[in-house]
Amino acid sequence: MKPTSITETPDISDDAPRLTQADFDQAKFKVAGKETGKPEWQTAVRAKTGKLRINIMLDAPIVEHFKALAGERGYQTLINDTLRRAVAGESLEANLRAIIREELHAAG
């Protein structure tokens, strides 16, 4: 993984009001410029990103490991990247095995 850099950013939000949970509770959800409910908005976001929200139980040491690796980044992103690489690796291994079998069969 490539280390992330931390850049000092001047604090320009001094004049901005602090957002509260009440502010977020009053948020309006829009899809293609039209107001929608939260469920429709979540469906649209998932469709656009290709992500699926699931609940999964992971061993505590696994989660702690990824949290430690993540630092400022999201540990869930690291878990997702690791799973993606594992799936790609399985595919690569299966393809290599098939090629080797074909070559051995052709040579024999």
36-76 tens-digit pLDDT: 988 888 888 888 888 888 899 999 999 999 999 998 778 99
Backbone angles phi, psi at 38, to 5 degrees: -60, -45
pTM over 0.85, yes/no: no
Backbone angles phi, psi at 52, to 5 degrees: -130, 130
Percent of the chain whose pLDDT exceeds 70: 87
Side chain identity at 21, as an amino acid letter? Q
* Residue at token pair 């004049």: 15
Mean pLDDT highest for which of 52-56, 80-84, 104-108? 80-84
Rounded distance between C-alpha atoms, residue 9 and residue 73, angstroms: 17
